[in-house]
Structures are given as structure tokens and as C-alpha cells.
Amino acid sequence: MAMPRHLLLDAELPWADAAARREVLRMRQRGWGGGDIPAHRALRVSPVRPGKLVPAALLAIALLAAYLLLLGPVSHLWAGMLEFWRSAVDLPGRVSMVRYDFYGLLQFDVPSLSFGSGLPGSELWWGGLVFTLLLGLGSFAVPLTWLPLRYLLRLVAFFQAGAQLFFGLWPWAFPYDGSGYVHGMLIADLMLIALIPVLLGSTYFVLDFSLWRKALLALLTMLHMLVLVPLQYAVHAYVIHHLSLLFMPLMFFVFGLTVNVLVFISFYAWGVSWWHPLRVEDVRWARRQNGNGNGNGNGNDDGNGGSRGSAARPSLPVPSGGGLS
Amino acid sequence: MAQERFASHLRTWLAPVGVILLVGGLLAAAVALSSAAPIPLGQHSPRPWYVLAMLIPLYAILLLVCVYLLRHYWFTLNRLHGTQRHPYLDIDTADWPEVTVLVPAHDEEPVIAAILSALLEVDYPPGRLHILPIDDRSRDRTGEIIDGFAARHPGIVVPFHRKKGEPGKAAALRDAMKLVTTDIALVFDADYMPGHGLIKQLVAPFFDPEVGAVMGRVVPHNVGQNLLTRLLDLERTGGYQVDQQARMNLKLVPQYGGTVGGVRCRALESVGGWRVDTLAEDTDATFRLLRGGWKTVYQNRSECYEQVPSTWPQRMRQVRRWARGHNEALWAHAGHLLVGPRTCFREKLDGWLLLNVYVMSPVLLLGWLLAMTLWYLGETRPGLIVILLVTSYSALGNFAIFFEVSAASYLDGSRARVRLLPLIMLGFLVGLFAISHETLLQILLPRRPGARVRWHKTEHPHTINHEGDE
């Protein structure tokens, strides 16, 4: 019978005889009263089980493949959402589709929202300058206890100051227009969403969560982004249309991909906070030792279950770790 | 058996294979996103020289950021799934040597009694533990409290009142070391709370004659105070539970952190003793011991509890002090480390990367500036910018990527706390500017050799309850 991997300290047990090693480890984890001593958090490792890792890898590949196959419907969903918001906020222009060919391997459409975006007039430029100064100088009025807010305001002021400088000196040289910008960002976000299964596959799927939780987190994150992205860039289009290209750099650097990355990390953090068997593994193992079955009751049996013939006196050790929270 | 063998192979190969896959993924993403970049209006001509002059350093910076990202990714996979090294964990019965515990204290009235009480209750053979609290030019009742303990525990608590001399912990330690007669000296900050078995755990590695320093795990005990303390707890968790333990597992360079740890006095003396002209005497000692052929050991099981800064200005000062001290260690050791005969390749590589972590903040800022300038020039490479954003956030959130922090919380079993992970961005932002500011100051206004260091102590305003806080 295999043992929970997080209880093993192989480096300290150099014997070749696996049975002897297992027996020593079993004795080592046996408490004075016959119960089991849970592993301290300092010694825990996450179990590596081929039975969990292989399906998780396949899940990541399947999600990526499914997403790529569904790029067409996704693009049409985005086009519909952009069109809805364009007419809702009375943004002049139209939504069309542009076809892309990715090295002959994949063909997909990306919505293109055409709308008017001009260079800032004198009033807008001066308005932008006042806005920048208010942000920059206002940050000094923020109390020190809110120090991160100070830096956030200064960061926004910094990006806007860059735009003020550029449009003050070389407005004719600005190399983008509003429609091209929104179209480009939609492409970048289509790719970013494709990366979600890959990123989660390499950072979340390697943790000891059940397969359905891994699938759920990936799907929720991808669905959230699918809804967020067209809304996000509809707002960008609205701002750029009404406030000119002067505010495009701010939209791009602060409210563009940065927001999407933070959304991904938020979902990831939420997923890591979900229930996982690692903390209670010790207890489950103890129950198995005492002949009480696998004890987990959630269908996540790792194959290490079973009971020992020499069941000791029933006792339920308290999992360690977490300590001070 | 076969399954166990397969799992064993997986544990060995998961980290390197994962890193290779991640590198491949990043490259693929860069190609995909760059190929999908929107074409700026009218830009098809060859790139002018000044664009190339900016692109080359930008790619170099991106490469550096990716190196750190992969390093942390490797560490995390190793800590999660690799074979863990705890070689001295089982030493419980031994002929324990005499040991001196140094507690530098400058204006530590609220906390000094708690640590002295805790030290008097630790599990260590009577007569072999000497407690040497250092009243370092205190202006409050620290000296008086220490004297009270010395009067109640003669021969065990031997106070050292330092009324004058250079400021700073390193100077205090150097002066106090003259009173140390044992070969092993442990050092605790005054706000730390050692557990019952901690001294034995920290002394055990010194039975190994190659070990020059030992470091334990620091766990904040004022976590619930406010958002900052919660964020710092996440950072500490990632830094110790994953980063330090992985470096121990991989036989790299675990860092002696100056507290919750100790040194072999003979080893430290052989490499020059405590240096007083630095703000990071711990990092300096780590690298001098490394260059001298001594090993530093990290003991993840040896936990000690501390008060983390609870206000942003305190945190800012702390980060700036660390940055300045760490950068001084970089100037002092980077070159010698690479050519030193007593370190192996992996120690040189990891040590060099460790020395450069604080320099990466201004480098990263430069990268952002270059990316922004190129964007204005129409050099749109969203792939580059995406990767720079992702990797810079993840690689430098106080030098523990979000994967590292979340994996550490996962191993710790802290579930709710990890939901604050995106807010580490706030600490990262403050750290980024604080470190960059300090590094630039160091470059523009370097301290004269031999000049006195300015020491900003971290305040500990909250009194620790002797009974309940641990």
C-alpha cells in the first residue's frame, strides 16, 4: 500500500528495501496513543499522482483546443456585444469582421469597431494637463497610511503626462487611430484567453485539487474574460471618441491588459483558496489506519486508501499548519 | 511499486520539464501575439537606429525578467513536489554545545520582556544557554527591563549595555561578540517570539562541521492587524516556505536573514566578522561565508514569530534599508563570487541572481520606460508588452511570484488569506519605487568608503502579551 507522499522524507531513508522503508515511515508517523502524527506544514509537499496529473494536462489541452475551435462564435459574441453598446451609447460607426490566418493553421474573425477618434484640440489638451496636475499634486495630499494609493495616482499621472508631452509636441506623429487600437487589443485579448488553460495548467493544475475544480476555475476565468473584454474596450472606444486620442495611452497602459492580468490573478487566488485535500490528508490517513475507510467522503480518493490490519486505538489528530490565521 | 517509482521520477523531473514547457509557452505566446499586432499607420520602413538602440536593451531586460520568473517557477515546483531536504530535523538527543543568544535591542521597551521570557522557557540543557540582550543606546526602559531579568536570572541573562558607538545592528553585534565565549551564537530581533524547541533546532545543524550559518522561518504574528500586515504575511510565506526551502533542497544559497538564526563564530571570524559599514550585515555575512566555503542551512521547521511593519512608511523605510544594504553586498561580492574557488557553479549562479534582485527594480522601470517610448514610436509589439507586464508583476512581487506565494499558502493551509494575492500589487508598487529610488541615490550619491551608515530602525509599537501572543 502506498503512503501519502507528503509524509515521506526519502532523503533521510536511504534503504533500498521499499517495504522496510514503508514500515519505518509508518512507525515514525505513529503517535504515542496509537494515532497518527500529522505532518507539520514545514514538511508538507503536494502529492504527485500520475492519475491526477495526466488528466489535468489533458484538461488543459482540451480547454485550449475547445477555445480555438470556438473562436468563431466568440468573435460573433464580441461583435454583438460591441454593436449593442455602440448603439446604446450612441457611438457613431459600425462593427465589422476582419479575417485572420495564423500561419495557415487557424483562421478566425476578429470584430473591428470603427469609430471616430481625433487629435485633441487646445481645450482638451489643457483640460488633460489640469487633470494630470490634479492627479500628481493631489497624490501628495493622500495620507501616508494610504501610500499605495499615492503611487497609483502618480503612476496614472505619469502615463497621462507622457501623453500630454507627446500630443503637445508631436501630435501629427501619433501612430495609432482609435479603431485600429481597439481591434488590436481584441486580438491580444483573444490570445490572452487562449493562454489561460496553459497558465492554469502550469500553475494551478499541478496542485492537488480535484479535476472538476480545475475545470471549473479555468472555465469561470475564461467566461469572465469573454464577457469582460468587449465591455472593457467598448468603454475605451467611448473614452477615446469623446476625449480624443490624448487618453488612448492611459487606456492602454493602465486600463488595458493590466486589468486582464489582474483579473486572471484574482481568479487564480480564489481557486487556490478552495478546499483541497492536503490539509486533511493526515486525518484521512489516520482514519484509514484505524479501519474507518477512506474517510474523505468527497470522491477524491487518491488510491492510497485502505485499512491496516493492525488498527490502533481510534484517535483523530488535528492537522497542523495555518497556525496564526 | 511501479506506481511509486513512476511518482518518484515525476517528482524528480516535474520541475525541469515544467520550466521547459513554460519557456516554450512564453516563446509561443510572444510569436503569436507579435504576429497578431495591429499594424500602425504607415509603418513599413526599416527601423531607424534609435529604435534598434531601444529594442535591444528592452529584449535584454525581458530576458532577465524571464530568468527570474523561471527561477521562481522552478523553486515552486521543487517545493511542491520535489524531495525535501531536512537533514538535521531528527537530531533531538545530543551532547548539546554551549550557545549564546544575542538579542540586539534599541528602544524595544514594548517587546523586550516577551522575548527574554520566551528564551528562558526554551528546551535546552541548563547551564549551556547564555542569553545576551544588547541594550543598544536605548532611550526608553529597555535597559531597565533587561537588568530586571538579569537580576532574576543571574548567570543566564548577562546584559550588555552599549552606551555609545556606531549606530546599527551590525555594530552592536560586533561589540557584543567580544563577550561571547561560545562557538555558536544565535541572533534574534527583540520583537521575535521563539518557540519551545527552537534553540535545539537551530543548534542541531552546527554538528555538521561544514555549516557556518543557520536560518529559521519567520512567521508574522500580527497578521490580522491591517491590510499591510496581511500582505507582508503572504510575502513572508512565499519567501520562506517556498523560496528558502527550495534553495535548501537544490543545494543553492539559502540566505542567512540576520535573525531567527545563528552563526558559527569561528567561521564568521575566519571571513572577517560582522561588518559595520553595511545596512545588510546578514546578506553580507551570507556571501562572505559562502565565499569562504561555509554552508548556510535553512530550517523550515524552525519557526519564530515576529511583528511585521504595520504602516506603509515603516515598510518603505525597511525596504529602502534592505535595498541599500543588499546593493552594497552586490558591489562587494558579485565579482568575487563568480571567480571564487570554493563555490560550485550552481551556488555561483543562484548567489549572483540573489545578489541582483534589488537591482531588478530600476531595471524593470527602465524596461517600462523603453516599452512606452517604443509604443509612442509605433513599435507595437503587444506580445512584448504583455509578457513584460505579466512577468514583471509575477517575478518581482517582492521577489516571490504569485505562484510561489499561492503555493506557499496552499502548503501552509491558509485558504482565505491567499485571496488577497492580487493586492500584493500594492506592495510591489511601493517596493518598486522605494527600491528604485534608493538604488538611484546609491548610484548618484555613493557613500564614501568608511563613512558611517544611517540606520533606520523598524518600530514595534505594540506590546507583546507574554502569555497569549505566541
Tell me the CATH number at B235. 3.90.550.10
pLDDT one-digit tens code per residue, A160-169: 999 999 999 9
Same domain membership, residue A147 and residue A25? no
Asked, for residue B5, whether it belongs to a domain, the answer is: no
Whether the ipTM is more than 0.90: the answer is no
Same domain membership, residue A47 and residue A62? no
Mean pLDDT score, B256-279: 89
pLDDT band of residue B110 (cuts 50, 70, 90) is: confident
Q: Smallest CA–CA separation between B292 and chain A, in Å?
A: 27
More confident residue, A313 or B322: B322
Least confident range from A101-115, B304-318, B455-469: namely B455-469
- On the question of pLDDT at A14 being above 60, the answer is no
First to last CA, chain B: 43
Mean pLDDT score, A48-52: 83
Same domain membership, residue A35 and residue A63? no
- On the question of pLDDT at A2 being above 60, the answer is no
Same domain membership, residue A182 and residue A166? no
Mean pLDDT score, B332-349: 92
pLDDT band of residue B281 (cuts 50, 70, 90) is: confident
pLDDT at position B337, please?
92
Q: How far apart are CA A252 and CA A239, in angstroms?
A: 12
Asked, for residue A314, whether it belongs to a domain, the answer is: no
Domain count, chain A: 3
A53 shares contact with chain B (CB less than 8 Å): yes
Asked, for residue B402, whether it belongs to a domain, the answer is: no
Asked, for residue A319, whether it belongs to a domain, the answer is: no
DSSP one-letter code for B219: E
Q: Which residues of A touch B15 (CB under 8 A)?
A: none
Closest residue, chain A, to B242 (C-alpha)? A42
Residue B419 near residue A269 (C-beta atoms within 8 A): yes
What SS3 class is residue B261?
A: strand
Judged by CB atoms closer than 8 Å, whether chains meet at A48 and B11 is answered as: yes
Same domain membership, residue A60 and residue A153? no
pLDDT at position B384, please?
54
Range of the domain at B164: 99-310
How much of chain A exceeds pLDDT 70, in percent? 79
Same domain membership, residue A137 and residue A242? no
pLDDT one-digit tens code per residue, A194-216: 989 998 998 999 998 999 999 99
Q: Any alpha helices (H) in chain A, and if so which ranges? A: 18-28, 50-69, 71-88, 122-141, 147-169, 178-203, 211-243, 248-253, 257-272, 281-289
Q: Smallest CA–CA separation between B103 and chain A, in Å?
A: 24
- On the question of pLDDT at A118 being above 70, the answer is yes
Same domain membership, residue A198 and residue A166? no
Q: Which of B85, B90, B219 sits opposite A323 (nearest CB)?
A: B219
Place of cell 479603431: A179
Residues B339, B341, B343, CA angle at the centre, nearest 5°?
Answer: 90
Asked, for residue A286, whether it belongs to a domain, the answer is: no
- On the question of pLDDT at A15 being above 60, the answer is no
DSSP of B6-32: HHHHHHHHHHHHHHHHHHHHHHHHHHH
How much of chain A exceeds pLDDT 90, in percent? 56
pLDDT one-digit tens code per residue, A125-141: 999 999 999 999 999 99
pLDDT band of residue B230 (cuts 50, 70, 90) is: very high
pLDDT band of residue B1 (cuts 50, 70, 90) is: low
The 10 Å Cβ neighbour count of residue A305 is: 16
More confident residue, B469 or B314: B314
Sign of CA dihedral A139, A141, A144, A149: negative
pLDDT one-digit tens code per residue, B164-212: 888 778 888 999 999 999 999 999 999 888 888 999 999 999 999 999 9
pLDDT band of residue B458 (cuts 50, 70, 90) is: low
Q: Smallest CA–CA separation between B418 and chain A, in Å?
A: 6
B409 shares contact with chain A (CB less than 8 Å): yes
pLDDT at position B74, please?
93
pTM of the model: 0.84
Asked, for residue A291, whether it belongs to a domain, the answer is: no
Residue B126 near residue B85 (C-beta atoms within 8 A): no
- On the question of pLDDT at A257 being above 90, the answer is no
Domain count, chain B: 1
A97 shares contact with chain B (CB less than 8 Å): no
- On the question of pLDDT at A294 being above 60, the answer is no
pLDDT band of residue B41 (cuts 50, 70, 90) is: very low
- On the question of pLDDT at A293 being above 90, the answer is no
**Amino acid, res. A209:** F
Same domain membership, residue A145 and residue A207? no
Range of the domain at A124: 120-173
Place of cell 520582556: B113
Same domain membership, residue A264 and residue A197? yes
More confident residue, B459 or A72: A72
pLDDT one-digit tens code per residue, A81-96: 999 999 999 999 999 9
Asked, for residue A165, whether it belongs to a domain, the answer is: yes
B219 shares contact with chain A (CB less than 8 Å): yes
Asked, for residue B359, whether it belongs to a domain, the answer is: no
pLDDT at position B171, please?
86
Q: Which residues of A touch B81 (CB under 8 A)?
A: 45-46, 48, 206
pLDDT at position B346, please?
93
Q: What is the mean pLDDT of chain B?
A: 84
Asked, for residue A168, whether it belongs to a domain, the answer is: yes
**Amino acid, res. B335:** G
- On the question of pLDDT at B460 being above 90, the answer is no
Same domain membership, residue A131 and residue A35? no
